[in-house]
Amino acid sequence: MSNIYEIIDSLNLGEAETHKIQINLINNPEKEERLLFALTNKNNDAKTRFLESFLETIPDEHQVLKRSLEEITEVKKKVRLLENELYKTKFTVTVTHEVGKNVLNTASPTLNEIFSFLKSETPISLDSLDTTSLPQYCKNEDEVQKKFIKFFNSLKGRIKCNIIDTSTSNWLKDPIGKIDISIIDGSQVLWAHLISGIEIKQSLKNTTLYHEAIGQLVDRFQTVFRMQRGRRFIIGAVCCDNLIEFIYANSELKLKRSGLLELSFTKQTTGMQMLLNMLSSNQHQLGYSPPKDHEALVGTSGFTYENVLRQADNGRGSLVFSGFINSKKAVLKASMDLNNELKMLEILKDCEYIPQVINKGLLSDGRMFIVTTPAGVHLEAKKHGVKGTLKALRDVMKALKFSHEHHIYHRDVSYLNIVYKNQRGYLIDWGVASNTSDLVNAPLTGTYLFSSLPVLNCFESGVPHTYSVNDEIESLFYVFMYIACDGIVRWRKHSDLSTSVAIKYNVMICPFEFGRHLVKYAYGEFHEYLLKFRDIIFPYGSDLEKRNISIDEIIEIFGDWINELE
Q: Convert the pLDDT of each residue in 225-244 to its tens digit.
A: 888 878 999 999 999 999 99
Q: Distance (Å, rounded) from C-alpha 351 to C-alpha 526?
A: 28
Which range is most confident: 256-265, 300-309, 506-515? 256-265
CATH T-level assignment (fold) for domain 293-373:
Phosphorylase Kinase; domain 1 (3.30.200)
If one compares 361 and 488, the residue with the highest pLDDT of the two is 361
Of all residues in the chain, what percent carry a pLDDT higher than 70?
76
- Which percentage of the chain shows pLDDT scores above 90? 36
455 contacts 442 by C-beta, under 8 angstroms: no
User: Which one is the CATH code of 381-565: 2.60.40.3470, 3.50.50.60, 3.60.20.10, 1.10.510.10?
Assistant: 1.10.510.10
Please tell me the predicted confidence (pLDDT) of residue 142: 86
pLDDT at 93: 37
Q: How far is CA 83 from the centre of its chain?
A: 24
Question: For the residues 306-325, what does the mean pLDDT come to?
Answer: 73
> Mean of the per-residue pLDDT values for the chain?
81
Q: Is the pLDDT of residue 347 over 90?
A: yes
For residues 432-446, average pLDDT: 66
Provide the pLDDT for residue 63: 42
Residue 496 above 90 pLDDT?
Answer: no
310 versus 529: the higher-pLDDT residue is 529
pLDDT-derived band of residue 90, with 50, 70 and 90 as boundaries? very low
> Residue 197: what are its φ and ψ, rounded to 5°?
-145, 160
pLDDT at position 439:
55
Give the pLDDT score at 428.
96
pLDDT at 307 over 70: yes
Measured CA angle at 497 (ends 104, 91), to 5 deg: 15
- The distance of Cα 125 from the centroid of its chain, to the nearest Å, equals 35
* 3-class secondary structure, 320: strand
Q: What is the pLDDT of residue 158?
A: 87
Do 293-373 and 381-565 come out as alike in CATH topology?
Answer: no
- pLDDT score, position 299: 66
- Residue boundaries of the structural domains of the chain: 4-89, 96-286, 293-373, 381-565
- Residue 307, CA atoms < 13 Å, CB-side half-sphere: 14
Average pLDDT over residues 331-360: 94
pLDDT > 50? residue 315: no
pLDDT tens digits for 164-194?
888 765 577 666 677 889 999 877 788 888 9
Whether residue 109 is preceded by a cis peptide bond, meaning omega within 30 degrees of 0, is: no
What would the pLDDT profile of 251-295 be if each residue is shown by its tens digit? 888 899 999 999 999 898 999 999 999 999 888 889 998 877 777
pLDDT at 45 over 70: no
Higher pLDDT, 341 or 548: 341
